Chains A and B, each alone.
Chain A
Amino acid sequence: MSAARLSLGRLALNGAATLSLGFILLPLFFVFWLAFFRQEIPSFPPEGYSLKWFQAAANNKPFVDGFLLSLQVGVSATLIGLVLGVPASLALMRHRIALGPAINTLLLLPLVMPGIVLGTSLYVFQIETEIATGLPVLGSAGGLVAAHSLVVIPWVVKLVTASLAGFDRTIEEAAQNLGAGPWTTFRRVTLPSIRPGLVAGSLFGFVTSFGNLEMSLFLVGPGRTTLPIAILQYLEWKIDPTVAAASVIQIVLIGAAMIITDRYVKLSRVV
C-alpha cells in the first residue's frame, strides 16, 4: 500500500519534471527545426530542408552589425560590472556597513525591475544629464554600455557574495602570516577561491546584456542597433526563417559558452 503510494508519488514527480522540461525545450526545438525549412513562409509540413537561411542571416548586414555591437556592449558591460560588483560584494560581506542590507537589495534591484521601466527611467535620466552637461549621452555607445552594466552588476554581486559566504577567511590570514601583503593575498588566495562566482556572474551578466531588448530599445542611437533590436526590426517586415537561423546561432554560442564554463566551474553549484 505504502510502496504503491510511493511509486505513484514518484511517477507524478517525474511527470511534472518531464512536463516542465518539455515546456522549456519545445520552443527551442521548433526554432531549430524552422531554421532548416526550405520555404519562405513557415508552414507545416515543411516542403524540404535547406541551409540557405543561415547564409541569409550571415549576409544580413543589420544582423552582423547588431551581433558585433551586442558583443562589444556585452563584454564592456561585463568588465565594468566586475570592476564595480566585486569590490561592492567584498565590502558588503566583509565590513559592517551602515545600511548594508539595503545597499545589497539596491544592487540586486535591476534584476527584478521590468526592462521597460528601467529603459524609460534611464532614457529620462540620460536626457536630463545631456541637458545639464551638454555632453552627448543618449544614443551614445557609452550610454548604452553604462545601462547594460546596470543589469550585469546584480549577477556579479549575487554570485560573488554567495562565493564569499562560504569562504574561510583564515586562509587569508595564513597568506599574510607567510609574508603576503593585502594585494598579493587578494590576488593569490581570495580571487582563486571566489573564481566560480566570478565566472558564473560574468557569464550570466553577459548573457543578460547580450539578450536585452526592452531597456536597449530606449537607449540605442541611429546606426547603433543591438542584435535583439535588429531581429525585432526584421520581424516587423518579414517572418522568413532567417530570424530562426540567427536565433539558432545565438543559442548554440551561449550553450557552448555554458558547457565550456561548466567544465571549469560547476554552474549548478554556484547558481
Chain B
Amino acid sequence: MARLSIEHLRKVYGEFTAVDDCSIDIADGEFLVLLGPSGCGKTTTLRMVAGFIQPTAGKITIGERDVTTLPPWKRNCGLVFQSYALFPHMTVAENVAFGLEMRKIAPADRAPRVTEALRLVRLTGLDERYPRQLSGGQQQRVALARALAIEPDVLLLDEPLSNLDAKLRQEVRVEIRDLQRKLGLTTIMVTHDQEEALTMADRLVVMEKGMVRQIGTQRELYEKPADRFVAGFIGRSAFLDGAMAEAGRFRSGGGLDISCKATASGPATLALRPERLAIGADAEACANRFPARVEHVSYLGALLDIDVRLTEQDRILLQVPNRPGAAEPKPGDMITIGWAEDAGLVYPREAKA
C-alpha cells in the first residue's frame, strides 16, 4: 500500500493531446475514481500509471518510488481489465498464481496465498476450473483475485463492472468497495458511469478533453461544481445563458433579472439544480419569482419532472415532490416558479467555437 502521486502528466499523440497537465494526489488507502465521457483521457491516465503508455511529460510516483520510466512488469500495480483478460489456457488457480510465480515465490508458498485471494473474492473451490467454464461475474472475481494476490502497491480498475448485468453490478460494487476498505488498498478506478462513481469513490476526478475539470468529494462536485461542464455532468442542471448586469444581478438572454450570489462580469451562464426550484405557494418566499408556462410533465412516482418556459429563450427543468392531493400541472398551465438567491451558480460563458 502506498500513496500515489501524478504530477503534470501529459500525453500527446501527434496533433492530439490525450491528457494535458494532469496532477492528482491519492492518499494511502484512498479510493479515487476517474470519471468522464469517453475520450476524456481517463483510461490513458490509468494506462500511464500501469506503465502501458509512456507519458510525453510529467512524473508518476508510487510511495517513494519514481516509476515514470519503469516498464509495467516492474511497477507492482494490480490492474483489473475491463475484459478481465484471464489467461484462457490456465486454470483459475494458475491464473491467480501467475503473478506470484513471476515474483519467484516457491510453489509451496504460493498455494496458501492463492487460496486466500480466492477466499477474499468468495470463489473457494473453483481452483481447477478454466475461465471459459465460469460466468462473467465469476471471471470478474478471478481477475480481481489475480490482481490482489500480488499484494500490489496500487490497485487499478479499468471499468471493471461494465460487462456485468445491472443486478450483479450493484453487488460487485459493494463487494469491491468493502474489500478495498478492508485491505486498505490505494485504488484508482476508471468509469463513465456516474452512479457507479458516486457510490464507490472517496474522491472523484472529473475529466474532459484530456483536462482535469475538478477533483473533490461527491458533495463538493454536486454542490460546488467548478465549471459548467461539471455542473452538467454530475447530476442534472438547467442552464440559462445571459450576462452579469452588475455584481449580484444576472440578466438572462430572454431579459429576466435574476439576483444571485456571484460577482463575475461579462457573458455568463446561470446553472440551477432542478430540485432547488419551487412552484406555486412554495415559491412565494423566494428571492427570484417568475411566471412560467408548463411544457412537459414526467411522472416519476415520488417526484415530478417539469419542463417550463420562462421566456422565448429561457427554459428550465424543475423537480418537485409529488404531494398526494396536490393538483398536477398540465402542459399549457401558467405557474409561478421561484428559487433562492444562492441556488443559481454563475459561470463565465465559454467562447463559442
Contact = CB atoms under 8 A, between A and B. Distances in A.
B99 A170 contact: no
The 9 closest A-B pairs by CB, nearest first: A179-B102, A178-B99, A174-B85, A170-B85, A176-B72, A192-B89, A177-B79, A171-B85, A176-B73
Interface in B44-85: 50-52, 71-79, 81, 83, 85
A178 B81 contact: no
B92 to A, nearest CB: 14
Contacts of A173: 50, 52, 72, 79, 81, 85
Interface of B: 50-52, 71-79, 81, 83, 85-89, 98-99, 102-103, 146-147, 150
A174 B95 CA distance: 10
A176 B74 CA distance: 9
A176 B87 contact: no
Interface in A169-207: 170-171, 173-181, 184, 188-189, 192-193
Contacts of B72: 173, 176-177
Interface string A128-168: 00000000000000000000000000000000000000001
26 contacts: A168-B83, A170-B83, A173-B50, A174-B79, A174-B85, A174-B86, A174-B146, A175-B87, A175-B98, A176-B51, A176-B71, A176-B72, A177-B72, A178-B99, A178-B146, A179-B73, A179-B74, A179-B102, A179-B103, A180-B73, A181-B73, A184-B102, A188-B98, A189-B87, A192-B89, A193-B89
B73 A174 contact: no
A193 to B, nearest CB: 7
Nearest to B83: A170
A193 B88 CA distance: 8
A171 B87 contact: yes
Nearest to B81: A170
Does more than half of chain A's interface fall in helix, strand or loop, or is it mixed? helix
Contacts of B73: 176-181
Contacts of B76: 179
Nearest to A170: B85
A180 B86 CA distance: 14
Interface of A: 168, 170-171, 173-181, 184, 188-189, 192-193
Given A170-B81, A177-B73, 11 more contacts: A170-B83, A174-B81, A175-B98, A176-B52, A177-B50, A178-B73, A178-B99, A179-B76, A179-B99, A181-B71, A193-B88
B78 A177 contact: yes
Which of B50, B52, B85 is packed against the most chain A CB atoms within 10 Å? B85
Question: Quick one: which of A173, A177, A181, A192 has the most chain B CB within 10 A?
Answer: A177
A177 B87 contact: no
B102 A178 contact: yes
Contacts of A176: 51-52, 71-73
Contact of B150 (A178, A184, A192, A193): A178
Contacts of A175: 87, 98
Contacts of A193: 88-89
Contacts of B86: 171, 174
Contact of A171 (B51, B88, B150): B88
A192 B90 CA distance: 10
B90 to A, nearest CB: 8
Contacts of A168: 83, 85
B14 to A, nearest CB: 14
A198 to B, nearest CB: 13
A176 B103 CA distance: 12
Between A175, A179, A192, the greatest number of chain B beta carbons within 10 A of the residue's beta carbon is seen for A179
